[in-house]
Amino acid sequence: MEPTAAQVACFEAGIKFGSLYHQFAGTPVSPDSADSLTAAMEEAIENQPYCEAVTVAVREDELREAIESAGADYTELTGRFLDVTMTVDYEGVVVETSMAMEDGYPLMQVETVRE
């Protein structure tokens, strides 16, 4: 069957998450550069169609700990340092999604679908 508007809205939300993650994973990041990176991630993904709002926060404690335990000045961005929320609006269907760590993996989830 052809997809419903709500299903397409969820597909669009998934595209944004995959884009955000795989575009920016691996970027050199430190506590000092975290703010410019999260701002860029938000604004870059908000360019994409149907994307109403993106918030990206870096878990600074986790980031500092990873950098210190490696005896380094920076590390590479990966899901364990990120909390993300995203709102997609496709033909009036509003999808709220999030990414956060669960059992050591960055879990991307649909929170709510409002038709």
Which stretches of the chain bind its own copies, using CB under 8 A? 1-4, 6-8, 10-30, 32-33, 36-37, 39-49, 70-74, 76, 78, 95, 97, 103-105, 108, 110, 112-115
Q: How far is the CB of 70 from its own copies (least distance, A)?
A: 6
Q: How far is the CB of 75 from its own copies (least distance, A)?
A: 9
For 25, the token pair is 């994973």
Cβ(73)–Cβ(31) below 8 Å: no
From residue 52, give the alpha-carbon distance in Å to each of 1, 46, 57, 114. 28, 7, 17, 14
Which residues neighbour 102 within 8 Å (Cβ) at sequence distance 6 or greater?
none
Check whether 42 is labelled as a binding-site residue. no
Q: Per the annotation, does 86 bind a ligand?
A: no
- Per the annotation, binding residues for substrate are 12, 108
